[in-house]
Amino acid sequence: MKRYALVGAGALAGFAGAMMLFPAVYGASDMNTYRRLDVFSDAFELVRANYVRPVEDKELINNAIEGMVSSLDPHSSYMDAKAFADMQIQTKGEFGGLGLEVTMEDGLVKVISPIDDTPAAKAGLKTGDFIAAIDQTPIQGMELDDAIAKMRGPQGSKVSLTILRPGSKKPFDVTLTRAIVHVDSVKYHKEGDVGYVRISAFNERTASGLEKAVKDLRQEIGGNLKGYVIDLRNDPGGLLDQAIAVSGDFLNGGEVVSTRGRHSDDTQRYTAKSGGDITGGKPVIVLINGGTASASEIVAGALQDHNRAKIVGMTSFGKGSVQTIIPLGEGGGALRLTTARYFTPSGHSIQAQGIIPDYAVAQPDDDDSATKLLRESEANLPGHLLGENAKKAKQTIIHAPAGKKYDDFQLAYALDLLHGGKMIASIKSAQAN
Amino acid sequence: MKGLSLALLSAAVAFCGGFALLHLANADSSAELARFGKAYATVRADYVDDPGDQALVEGAISGMLGKLDPHSSYFDPRTFAAMQVKTEGQYGGLGLVISLDDSLIRVVQPIDDTPASRAGIKAGDHILSIDGKQVTGLKLDDVQDKLRGPAGTKVVLSIMREGTKDPFDVTLTRQIIAVEAVTHKREGDVGYIKIPAFNEHTDAGVKSAVEALQKQIGPHLKGYILDLRDDGGGLLDQAIAVSDEFLDGGEIVSVRGRRPSDTQRYDAQAGDIAKGKPIIILVNGGTASASEIVAGALQDHKRARVEGSVTFGKGSVQTVVPLNDGKDGALHMTTARYYTPSGRSIQTTGIIPDVAVADSSTDEAAFESLIGREANLPGHLAAEGPEVKSDVASVIRPDPKKTYDDFQLSYALGLLGSPQAVRVEREPPPDPDRTDNQSN
């Protein structure tokens, strides 16, 4: 009898111990998370039991994860197992595209910038255009990746985009022919005694292209060379390492950009190689506008913060975030999650603010929305963060004087700056009156 | 000693057993939930900002519900609190009459004394987005659908107004639009009744309309036209009551949920206030829900002929299921579908007119599913009822060179054998395949 009693007592004690320890082991001590997951699983069970037709658990959870992630920002999304597998085997260069860098805003696809010499640029698409439909299928309800996939297709095939342009009253259709988009990202020529270099994207050959440009221009212009204008307008970005290399070509060491994530030990800093300035210290002006994004903003921000170049034009797009692909285990698909943001050497976030020019200069055809230097989101920043940018934003925007026709006023302004600023002075005095 | 070690051994076994049992119990509530938990934990740990637990779960529930069908959604705690509980489930609107202007949505006019007019929305305004999502390029019926919603819920419209430089946002709270009363008119010896919505007064309104018309027209009354065009629906019990007015018996509609035991059937009682006179029901792409129930019931019983274009196809019931008494919001979920007496799902096919007649503004797509072939139901629904056969041979269209006040109405009058009112420009073409089997 006694033996059985001991066994019984032991068993009871053991079982009770398991009950008590189980929650601790499974982390339910974080009560709020536990409760939140509880709410979710309640909702899940209710749908499973009561929805008008049976739905697979897998489909419900895929949609839940998708909903959770895409509510964070337009570049974060969820790929289910199939989509993830597709992404991994996708071959590059097999498809034709349009040459558009895009993002998602208000449920529609928004154009960041068309790349020079691509079908999109030739069709006259502009920064800020919204795409409302692709081949008459409304974009509403599509994920950004789906929309991009629909815009791609066999080389030579046509696609029709319905465009909403701010300032235009009615939407209009544009038909484009897809092409293999090979971007020759660096073009250059001499503008009198100034070397003009246009960088339209940051691909594998950009830094070497820039180095060749500077070398050739130095040779062509010779001793009188006054400086360089680096045109990053409507450059939607590209490869980070190219942005760092290009920045390094103008700097003698120093930080170019940092990426900062959730925790302070996630920070990564990228520095320019020392002895890197290939221009021999000549003055540099960088041109930017609302279509200048990402890698281009890194370059402009680095050169601005090191006082290596003056920035002329209009505030850039403000796209400076890093997405990381995080697989979720066997058959679980993967998250594409924004995990870090880019910061200029002085510590301001490109995503939030873009790059604000030192000299705010508008093109004659810039519509009113482009003339806002400080974006609305900044108005909500706590006062102490506004600081430098607010001061810059209070500057007046310089417009081309009436009466004289300029092909490219921003470029004219930049060239004038390099020559002592006589035209600028006369404009300023005229505007002051 | 031996006893103690035995006790310890059994304790150890029980401990492991207990642990294993609990582990299994949790694993049972789905590997899928665990997958969600992992995604949730990853976002919390790695997202560039602190996302906030509540926002994450709300986003998840919202995504899960939203992808089920266009009418299922999640009300977060704030929205749920703002909803008027007593109008739960009833559909309200804003009081906006809209039209398509190229691909833009234009306000024809705001109805007096409605949320739209009180918010200062004007005729000629363009609606650019609804709740942050742009609506340009969408079909008009889909936009109407987005404007409507449970009474008490808010909606934000982005308006572009002639003369105002930038678009501006307007927040409105949906309401039952009380202005939508039944109206009637004598068209020669035909009684015309317009039902704009199914609210608490609709059935009474229909009854008094029929009474009034019978008095007005007298024994020469040829028949009735029930106009359900652009009627977005409303209360189920009103739809059943109105159908009942014209039927002498038989099923009106069944509401079927997940389990066969959930099925509810509604039958008509004896009595036909139209006394057997022919009825034509006018429908179009804006005819939805409660209106489709009426059209479907009368069509299946051959009590009326349905004329116009294919209806919206909104025949589902949403139930509001609060989470934690509403503290965690509520699910707004489709739990049942409406089926016509012959067993067709309104949600899937809409109501297909017996006589396809276009308006001058009806586009080709409205008739795509009809011409020359059987309307095909998707495979998995084959078991849901008889195959829908459309014996519509052609679409009757107005002469583009003439102007008509209301071609569909004029055609209906013709079908009832009524001499045309002056405003019709020409006689509608005779329909050689039909005999008017409803005249007495």
Q: A65 and B39 in contact by Cβ < 8 A?
A: yes
- Least confident residue range of A199-213, A398-412, B384-398: B384-398
Name which of B18, B50, B323 is nearest A15 (Cβ-Cβ). Answer: B18
Last residue of a domain, one of B148, B173, B198: B173
Mean pLDDT of B48-59: 91
Q: A6 and B3 in contact by Cβ < 8 A?
A: yes
| C-alpha span between A105 and A128 (Å, rounded) | 10
Per-residue DSSP letters for A346-374? T--BHHHH----SEEB--TT--GGGG--S
B160 with B290, same domain? no
In the prediction, which pLDDT does B89 show?
Answer: 47
pLDDT at residue A382 is higher than 50: no
pLDDT at residue B107 is higher than 50: yes
- Least confident residue range of A248-252, B76-80, B264-268: B76-80
Higher pLDDT: B129 or B423? It is B129
Q: How far is A17 from chain B (nearest CA, A)?
A: 6
- CB B170 within 8 Å of CB B121: yes
B298 with B151, same domain? no
φ, ψ dihedrals at B436, nearest 5°: -75, 90
Is residue B267 in a domain? yes
B264 in reach of chain A (CB within 8 A): no
For residue B256, the chain A residue with the least C-alpha distance is: A52
For residue B47, the chain A residue with the least C-alpha distance is: A339
B155 with B266, same domain? no
B217 with B350, same domain? yes
Chain B environment of A66 (Cβ under 8 Å): 63, 67
Is residue B85 in a domain? no
For residue A1, the chain B residue with the least C-alpha distance is: B3
Give the CA angle between residues A167, A172, A178 to the nearest 5°: 120
pLDDT above 90: percentage of residues in chain B: 40
B217 with B354, same domain? yes
For residue A261, the chain B residue with the least C-alpha distance is: B48
Give the CA angle between residues A7, A13, A16 to the nearest 5°: 135
pLDDT at residue A85 is higher than 70: yes
B146 with B288, same domain? no
Average pLDDT, chain A: 84
Residue-wise pLDDT for A179-226, tens only, equals 887 778 899 999 999 999 999 999 888 999 999 999 999 999 999 999
Q: How far is B335 from chain A (nearest CA, A)?
A: 4
pLDDT above 70: percentage of residues in chain B: 79
In the prediction, which pLDDT does B301 show?
Answer: 96
Q: What is the CATH number of the domain that holds B111?
A: 2.30.42.10
Residue-wise pLDDT for B166-218, tens only, equals 889 999 998 877 667 899 999 989 999 999 989 888 999 999 999 999 999 99
B110 with B231, same domain? no
Residue-wise pLDDT for B320-340, tens only, equals 899 998 899 999 999 999 999
- CB A271 within 8 Å of CB A251: no
Last residue of a domain, one of B173, B199, B228: B173
Give the CA angle between residues A83, A86, A88 to the nearest 5°: 115
DSSP H helical segments within A295-421, as ranges? 295-305, 350-353, 376-379, 383-393, 409-418
Q: How far is B8 from chain A (nearest CA, A)?
A: 6
Interface list for B 115-154 with A (CB within 8 A): 129, 132-138
| C-alpha span between B287 and B226 (Å, rounded) | 12
Structure tokens at B392: 């519509």
Q: CA nearest A25: which of B38, B19, B9, B78?
A: B19
B167 with B189, same domain? no
pLDDT at residue A32 is higher than 80: no
Mean pLDDT of A12-16: 67
Name which of A72, A324, A332 is nearest B35 (Cβ-Cβ). Answer: A332
Q: B33 and A61 in contact by Cβ < 8 A?
A: yes
Banded pLDDT at A170 (limits 50, 70, 90): confident
| C-alpha span between A124 and A119 (Å, rounded) | 9
B210 with B139, same domain? no
Name which of A49, A60, A171 is nearest B64 (Cβ-Cβ). Answer: A60
pLDDT at residue A298 is higher than 90: yes
Range of the domain at B162: 91-173
In the prediction, which pLDDT does A395 show?
Answer: 66
B74 in reach of chain A (CB within 8 A): yes
pLDDT at residue B112 is higher than 70: yes
Is residue B74 in a domain? no
Q: How far is A182 from chain B (nearest CA, A)?
A: 32
| C-alpha span between A375 and A364 (Å, rounded) | 21
pLDDT at residue B44 is higher than 70: yes
Residue-wise pLDDT for A87-99, tens only, equals 766 544 345 788 8
Is residue B19 in a domain? no
Active site (catalytic) residues of A: 294, 305, 319
B268 with B368, same domain? yes
- Least confident residue range of A49-63, A103-117, B12-26, B353-367: B12-26
Structure tokens at B21: 């049992």
Name which of A41, A53, A171 is nearest B33 (Cβ-Cβ). Answer: A41
Is residue B129 in a domain? yes
In the prediction, which pLDDT does B3 show?
Answer: 66
- CB B345 within 8 Å of CB B296: no
- Residue ranges of domains in chain A, CATH in brackets: 100-177 (2.30.42.10), 186-432 (3.90.226.10)
Amino acid at B344: R
Residue-wise pLDDT for A122-133, tens only, equals 999 999 899 999
Q: B133 and A19 in contact by Cβ < 8 A?
A: no
In the prediction, which pLDDT does B429 show?
Answer: 45
Residue-wise pLDDT for A273-291, tens only, equals 876 899 999 999 999 998 8
What residues contact A211, with CB distance under 8 A and at least 6 apart?
A: A249, A278
Residue-wise pLDDT for B220-235, tens only, equals 999 999 999 988 888 8
Q: CA nearest B362: which of B282, B280, B285, B289?
A: B285
Structure tokens at A162: 């319905």
Judge if pTM exceeds 0.80.
no
B251 with B399, same domain? yes
Q: How far is A119 from chain B (nearest CA, A)?
A: 23
B142 with B201, same domain? no
Q: A51 and B333 in contact by Cβ < 8 A?
A: yes
Chain A environment of B65 (Cβ under 8 Å): 43, 47
Write down the catalytic residue from B125, B314, B345, B410.
Answer: B314
Cβ of B433: how many Cβ atoms within 10 Å?
A: 8
pLDDT at residue B91 is higher than 70: no
In the prediction, which pLDDT does A229 show?
Answer: 97
| C-alpha span between B298 and B247 (Å, rounded) | 7
H or E element that contains B134: strand B133-134
Banded pLDDT at B437 (limits 50, 70, 90): very low
Q: A18 and B22 in contact by Cβ < 8 A?
A: yes
Residue-wise pLDDT for A310-327, tens only, equals 999 999 988 888 888 899
CA B414, B420, B423, B424 torsion-angle sign: positive
Is residue B440 in a domain? no
Is residue B123 in a domain? yes
Mutate to test the interface with A, among B21, B26, B35 (most CBs of A within 10 A): B35
In the prediction, which pLDDT does A220 show?
Answer: 95
In the prediction, which pLDDT does B389 show?
Answer: 46
Banded pLDDT at A86 (limits 50, 70, 90): confident
Q: How far is A215 from chain B (nearest CA, A)?
A: 41
Q: A11 and B60 in contact by Cβ < 8 A?
A: no
Mutate to test the interface with A, among B5, B24, B47 (most CBs of A within 10 A): B47
Q: How many domains does chain B have?
A: 2
Is residue B110 in a domain? yes
H or E element that contains A5: helix A2-25
Q: What is the CATH number of the domain that holds B191?
A: 3.90.226.10
Mean pLDDT of A239-267: 92
Interface list for B 29-58 with A (CB within 8 A): 29-30, 32-33, 35-40, 42-51, 53-58
Last residue of a domain, one of B155, B173, B191: B173
Chains A, B: CB pairs < 8 Å: 258
Residue-wise pLDDT for B133-163, tens only, equals 888 777 777 888 888 887 788 899 999 988 8
| C-alpha span between A243 and A297 (Å, rounded) | 9
Q: A46 and B328 in contact by Cβ < 8 A?
A: no
